[in-house]
Structure 1
Amino acid sequence: MAETIEEIASRVRELRELEKVTAEEMAEYLKVPLETYICYEEGKTDIPASKLFEIGQRLDVEMNLLLTGEEARVRIFTVTRKGEGVEVERRGQYKYQNLAGKFLSKRAEFFTVTIEPKKEKPAAYSHPGQEFDYVLEGSLNFSIHDNEIILNEGDSILFDSSYKHSMEARGERPAKMLVVVI
């Protein structure tokens, strides 16, 4: 199931308004210019997954609600079959698939992330918490806090995600990772 940027943007705006949080307050919370935040809500600019995570925290909602419009309901377990995770349409270099969106009161978010090879340097993002990345396929350059690390299939990294970080596929093949945001 692929959700469009416009659908997600509309949900973010509606939930923000229901919580009586102004666009200015949200932009300040996310540490982005107001103009950037307004473009997020208008669907003109893709909302990075790290910012969606922060928006969910600020509005006290599960990320699944932002991604799909559906409340998480499952308390005991959830199974996501291959290819059935909620995909978020990305304009950038990363394609996300949420793997456990239906589970209620998660303490982490679980994704597969596919990183397409590109010529330009990817933008760096930060978000609260910690992140664990495990390379399933391919090879990538991982950048964090002035450090460049090459990660190959089977390698993993756990890091403080409040530091700006980015990933870039090496070579001509995409890289695929399991990502856990805590």
Structure 2
Amino acid sequence: MTKLQTEKKKPDNGKTKARTARKPPARTPARAEAAEAAHEPLRIGSKLKHARRLQGYTLKELADIVDCSESMLSKLENDKLTSSIVFLHRLAHALGTSIAELYSEENDLSGPVHVFHADRRAHSVADPDSPDGGARFERIVPVDRNGLLQALMHSIPPGGRSGGTVSHAGEELGYIIEGEVEVTVDGKSYVVRQGDLIFFPSSLPHGYYNRGDKMARMLKVNTPPSL
């Protein structure tokens, strides 16, 4: 027999400690449920209906103003259809409100300083304007009705683009965290890559296009809140 076969195990006298893999702390059902809920886009149908009624419009009257069908508006108000960002801008303007107000949440923002930890899951807004439907805005800072600033993480898949241009009051900047984005402002295109920053008046028509071959992520900050 070989030495390896005849060698006996030394008895464990307690000095040898077994190595055990450390397991990450399990999420409680409440935390898991909260994270999943935060990841889902917010439903705004009831707010659209409330804003329409405040303006005194019937479905047909509002449909004529924004150039769409009554059926489409009804589906939006009942959360059976998701609007494109471009159309939602037009709809919010007709209702005397903003996308930010429609997506606003009840948040405790009392006090001058707010810390949002890394494990916080922000609410997201899908952008159906993107041809593949994969573009997404993730709200970093909750909307404050009295706030002046809005911060979003814009994730754009390869080939993703806005379905058109939008314009609204204010100013905005975009900082490219990764990838490459072609931003069109007032008919002129600007290519911005990782580490680049673009700033422009929001009143100029603007849109985006991911011309790269990987996901692009852009930190968007604008004032006043619009999305």
User: Which TM class, normalised by the smaller chain length?
Assistant: 0.7 to 0.9
Structural RMSD (CA): 3.3
Task: Tell me which of 81, 84, 88 is aligned to 2:117.
Answer: 81
Q: In the alignment, is residue 163 of structure 1 matched against residue 204 of structure 2? A: yes
Displacement of 1:54 in angstroms is 7.9
Structure 1 contact 132–159 (Cα < 8 Å) conserved: yes
Q: Quick one: structure 1 residues 40 and 160, their matched pair in 2 at CA, closer, same or farther if it must change by over 3 Å?
A: farther
Q: Quick one: structure 1 residues 13 and 80, their matched pair in 2 at CA, closer, same or farther if it must change by over 3 Å?
A: farther
Structure 2 counterparts to residues 56-67 of structure 1, below 5 A: 58-59=96-97, 63=100, 66-67=102-103
Displacement of 1:145 in angstroms is 1.3
- Deviation string 1:52-73 (CA, Å, 9 cap, x unpaired) is 698399248x93x6326x3233
Q: Quick one: structure 1 residues 106 and 147, their matched pair in 2 at CA, closer, same or farther if it must change by over 3 Å?
A: same
Equivalent position SS for 1:74: coil
Structure 2 stretches of 5 or more lacking a match? 1-37
Equivalent position SS for 1:112: strand
Equivalent position SS for 2:177: strand
Q: Quick one: structure 1 residues 55 and 96, their matched pair in 2 at CA, closer, same or farther if it must change by over 3 Å?
A: same
Structure 1 contact 52–66 (Cα < 8 Å) conserved: no
Which residue of structure 2 aligns with residue 33 of structure 1? 67
What TM-score, normalized to structure 2?
Answer: 0.62
Q: Across the two proteins, how many residue pairs are aligned to each other?
A: 174
Displacement of 1:107 in angstroms is 0.5
Which residue of structure 1 aligns with residue 165 of structure 2? 124
Identity over aligned pairs, percent: 20
Which residue of structure 2 aligns with residue 142 of structure 1? 183
Structure 1 contact 117–169 (Cα < 8 Å) conserved: yes
Which residue of structure 1 aligns with residue 34 of structure 2? none
Structure 1 contact 77–103 (Cα < 8 Å) conserved: no
Structure 2 counterparts to residues 103-118 of structure 1, below 5 A: 103=144, 105-118=146-159
- How far, CA to CA, are the matches of 2:77 and 2:166 in structure 1? 19
Higher Rg of the two aligned structures: 2
- Deviation string 1:151-177 (CA, Å, 9 cap, x unpaired) is 011111111222221111122101111
Relative contact order (alpha carbons < 8 A, sep ≥ 6): 1 or 2 greater?
Answer: 1
Displacement of 1:140 in angstroms is 0.9
Equivalent position SS for 1:105: coil
Which residue of structure 2 aligns with residue 72 of structure 1? 107
Displacement of 1:86 in angstroms is 1.2
- How far, CA to CA, are the matches of 2:172 and 2:68 in structure 1? 27
Amino acid at match of 1:58: G
Structure 1 contact 79–100 (Cα < 8 Å) conserved: no
- How far, CA to CA, are the matches of 2:168 and 2:85 in structure 1? 10
